[in-house]
Structure 1
Amino acid sequence: MYTTIIILLILSTTTTAIATISSDITALKAIKSSINPATIPSYTCLHSWDFTSDPCSPPHVTHFLCGLSCSGKRVTQLTLDPAGYSGTLPPIISQLTQLITIDLSDNRFHGQIPNSLFSLPNLQTLILAGNSFSGVIPPAITNLRKIQTLDISHNALSGSLPKTLASLTELTRLDLSFNQVTGPIPVLPKNLIQVALKANSLSGDLQKQSFTESSQLEVIEVSQNSLTGTIPGWFFLTPSLQQINLSNNSFTRFQILKPVNSSLVAVNLGFNKLSGYLPATFSAYPMLASFTLSYNNLKGRIPWEYTKLPRLFLDGNLFIGLPPKDFFSRKTFIISGSLGDNCLKSCPAWSKLCFKSQKPCSVCQKAYRSGKLESKS
């Protein structure tokens, strides 16, 4: 019996000996104080932050039930529930120097992201998506030398991307979609695997130096911007690249080179201003399964080679002539997509590919400068 009591006393002493360092407690208090109390319901993580108890000392029965994790006496993870917390992020957050993860997504934080946040030496994951942070993207963001995941999408950030973004050599996932970011795409980090810059105001053309270092890049999502010029052939040959979305920009032409060990699976170039004729080369990409060119200004006949693609969207262009019969062969696999809203002849109504009707003949004649349409069809 005495042995049991001694063991319990030792365990009790060990438990109470764990005390969060004072600078971490001060920072946590400041974070809670910066949030409007009316937006902290009783069922939320922040409501359980009662500082009559030590944040890192277990067991967490009534206080600090969630929202943070510790290692010893230091806070290492700050992950708030998406409860609609409304407030600002205090600069004193930089005192949590052992933070590895910050996730404040899907709340109502506003104001500028404090520069001090980017001085955290061990931060690997920063997710501030789905808030109302504003102001320019601080150049100090490139001080996060250990950062691997950076997601600040769905905010109101403005200004251009830092030119020194490539210095984040550990970064593998970057998402700045749905902000108000301007300017060109800078040189991307070498270990980047996914980059999403959708729905901003990026401008300029695609520069080779922006992607040269990113040999592991698998996903590029830059749709709904203001990018212009020609989509160069080298872009589709970027090593490891699997998915490309450049839709809803202002590109006018694209070049296609012969694929070399390509891993491309899906390409979306829809809703641009692409003109010219559709090259058969694109169908030679061995892994390509989905190709979208909807609503551009492409002309000519559809090469039969495109009947090999499982998903093909060519609607809203100016393609002429008879569509390749293999699109509708009962012996081939079912192709999904659309050939509608073109200038095609005899697109069978029974096929889902032809659900959208073709353009009026007058529109097609005008596009081919009157009479030229007949000579090509």
Structure 2
Amino acid sequence: MSKTTTIISLFLLLSTTITTAITTVSSDITALKSLKSYINPKTIPSYTCLHSWDFTSDPCSPPHVTHFLCGLTCTKNRVTQLTLDPAGYTGTLSPLVSQLTQLITIDLSDNKFFGPIPNSIFSLPNLQTLILGSNSFSGTIPPSIQNLKKLQTLDISHNSLSGSLPPNSLTQLTELTRLDLSYNKLTGPIPKLPKNIIQLALKSNSLSGYLQKPSFTELTQLEVLELSENSLTGTIPAWVFLIPSIQQINLSNNTFTSIQVSKPSVNSNLIAVDLGYNKISGYPPVNFSIYPMLASLTLRYNKLRGRIPWEYTKTTTLSRLFLDGNFLIGLPPKEFFSGKNIISGSLGDNCLKSCPISSGLCLKSQKPWSICQQAYRGKQKPKS
């Protein structure tokens, strides 16, 4: 036998030995088998990841030619990522998923999982990403969620979760930077939130109560605040707009009744504010005009009165302004129509005088004068 043939034979033997050595631990295999067994086989088409899981070969041993083509990732002999394709899998989530103790990522989004999220999933010690969005999970978020000490991303949006947010558990998730629980059936107040949150989305639930400063006190890195389509009420306090890193705020479609806006810090990065479809009364807040980065402001369909602040025409950053659906009076600032300020939005459905129909800002007609007079009855009278 030649030297070259001997080297090749030795290489093949070593490769076979290495491949054979990579044998997935039995508890992981048991968990994967259970996961697949909890899913209706009629919802596992031949082209999907789960269809390739037939367990005639070892899940973590390469090469993956015909079996375990996708849906999981291994590090050595342990499953570290579970990322199912959005194939419409229907079933419940096996509680034995907790045996995959080296999992870093779980992503089951855009399928048809239903039933409660197994409590055992909250015992995974290394989990950093948990994405269960766009399924039909129900039940509550248990206090045991606080055990996910390494969690960075939590997305359970577009499900049917109910109950209140666990009041003392979320703060224990000190590594969490992204939290999305939008489009569920969550109720109650907003509790104290994890201090390192960057993106917070609780849109389209039934959250109620006031915006309490203690819930947001430590959120110095928050950039996106999405609380629209809830039942939050009371005053929108000035500190909301002064959160150090805040860039986008959406509090639309709630029942807020008033607003406080103080002067911004010199380092304010606030770009977009949407407070539309509330019950905010009083005058349009002038101080929005001095936020140095503000490009989009929506105050539409509230109960604002008085004149449009002329200061809104002096900002060089504001490019979108929606004030329609209020009870604003007087002449709209002529600078909006001079061509110098390129601004889009709407001033319609108010009580304005001489809003030029040639402008896109005035496409919606103004309210009938009788409605305007009724709105100002006992208050400042609008001038005809």
User: What range describes the TM-score normalised by the shorter chain of this pair?
Assistant: over 0.9
Contact persistence 2:335–2:341 (CA under 8 A): no
Q: CA deviation at 1:68?
A: 0.1
Q: Which runs of 5+ in 1 are unaligned?
A: none
2:277 matched residue in structure 1: 271
Amino acid at match of 1:239: P
- CA–CA separation in structure 2 for the residues paired with 1:3 and 1:230: 78
Task: State whether structure 2 residue 133 is matched by structure 1 residue 129.
Answer: yes
Contact persistence 2:39–2:92 (CA under 8 A): yes
Deviations for 1:47-87, whole angstroms, at most 9, x for unmatched residues?
00010100000000000000000000000000000000000
Q: Relative to structure 1, is the Cα distance of residues 364 and 41 closer, same or farther in structure 2, using a 3 angstrom cutoff? A: same
What secondary structure is seen at the aligned counterpart in 2 of 1:29?
helix
Amino acid at match of 1:214: L
Contact persistence 1:365–1:372 (CA under 8 A): no
Q: CA deviation at 1:371?
A: 9.3
- CA–CA separation in structure 1 for the residues paired with 2:67 and 2:322: 55
2:223 matched residue in structure 1: 218
Task: State whether structure 2 residue 166 is matched by structure 1 residue 158.
Answer: no
1:201 matched residue in structure 2: 206
1:291 matched residue in structure 2: 297
Amino acid at match of 1:339: L
Which residue of the other structure, out of 10, 16, 27, is the alignment partner of 1:6? 10
Which residue of the other structure, out of 38, 44, 55, is the alignment partner of 2:42? 38
Task: State whether structure 2 residue 373 is matched by structure 1 residue 365.
Answer: yes
Deviations for 1:284-324, whole angstroms, at most 9, x for unmatched residues?
10000000001000000001111232100000000000000
What secondary structure is seen at the aligned counterpart in 2 of 1:150?
strand
RMSD over aligned Cα atoms = 1.0
2:357 matched residue in structure 1: 349
- CA–CA separation in structure 1 for the residues paired with 2:344 and 2:362: 11
TM-score by length of 2: 0.96
Q: CA deviation at 1:374?
A: 3.9
Deviations for 1:121-175, whole angstroms, at most 9, x for unmatched residues?
0000000000000011111111111000000000000010011211100000000
1:340 matched residue in structure 2: 348
- CA–CA separation in structure 2 for the residues paired with 1:208 and 1:69: 42
Task: State whether structure 2 residue 232 is matched by structure 1 residue 227.
Answer: yes
1:61-80 paired onto structure 2 within 5 Å: 61-80=65-84
- CA–CA separation in structure 1 for the residues paired with 2:178 and 2:40: 32
Q: CA deviation at 1:271?
A: 0.1
2:320 matched residue in structure 1: 311
Q: Which range moved further: 108-117 or 8-17?
A: 8-17
Q: Relative to structure 1, is the Cα distance of residues 329 and 90 closer, same or farther in structure 2, using a 3 angstrom cutoff? A: same
Deviations for 1:173-220, whole angstroms, at most 9, x for unmatched residues?
000000000011111111100000000000000000010011100000
- CA–CA separation in structure 2 for the residues paired with 1:329 and 1:303: 17
Size of the alignment, in residue pairs?
375
What secondary structure is seen at the aligned counterpart in 1 of 2:98?
helix
Amino acid at match of 1:325: K
Q: CA deviation at 1:373?
A: 2.9
Amino acid at match of 2:272: A
Which residue of the other structure, out of 106, 113, 120, is the alignment partner of 2:117? 113
Q: Which runs of 5+ in 2 are unaligned?
A: none
- CA–CA separation in structure 2 for the residues paired with 1:292 and 1:61: 54
- CA–CA separation in structure 2 for the residues paired with 1:2 and 1:143: 54
- CA–CA separation in structure 2 for the residues paired with 1:131 and 1:145: 24
- CA–CA separation in structure 1 for the residues paired with 2:19 and 2:286: 70
- CA–CA separation in structure 1 for the residues paired with 2:246 and 2:254: 20
Task: State whether structure 2 residue 294 is matched by structure 1 residue 320.
Answer: no
- CA–CA separation in structure 2 for the residues paired with 1:274 and 1:352: 25
Contact persistence 2:329–2:382 (CA under 8 A): no
- CA–CA separation in structure 2 for the residues paired with 1:186 and 1:63: 45
Which residue of the other structure, out of 260, 265, 287, is the alignment partner of 1:281? 287
- CA–CA separation in structure 2 for the residues paired with 1:370 and 1:8: 93
Amino acid at match of 2:305: K
What secondary structure is seen at the aligned counterpart in 1 of 2:381?
helix
- CA–CA separation in structure 2 for the residues paired with 1:149 and 1:88: 22
Which residue of the other structure, out of 242, 257, 260, is the alignment partner of 1:255? 260
What secondary structure is seen at the aligned counterpart in 2 of 1:373?
coil
Contact persistence 2:250–2:273 (CA under 8 A): yes
TM-score by length of 1: 0.98
Identity between Structure 1 and Structure 2 (%): 74
What secondary structure is seen at the aligned counterpart in 1 of 2:264?
coil
Contact persistence 1:365–1:371 (CA under 8 A): no
Contact persistence 1:236–1:256 (CA under 8 A): yes
Contact persistence 1:86–1:107 (CA under 8 A): yes
Contact persistence 1:231–1:253 (CA under 8 A): yes
Amino acid at match of 2:301: Y
1:329 matched residue in structure 2: 338
- CA–CA separation in structure 2 for the residues paired with 1:118 and 1:371: 56
- CA–CA separation in structure 1 for the residues paired with 2:283 and 2:231: 23
Amino acid at match of 1:7: F
Q: CA deviation at 1:16?
A: 1.4
What secondary structure is seen at the aligned counterpart in 1 of 2:42?
helix
Amino acid at match of 1:373: K
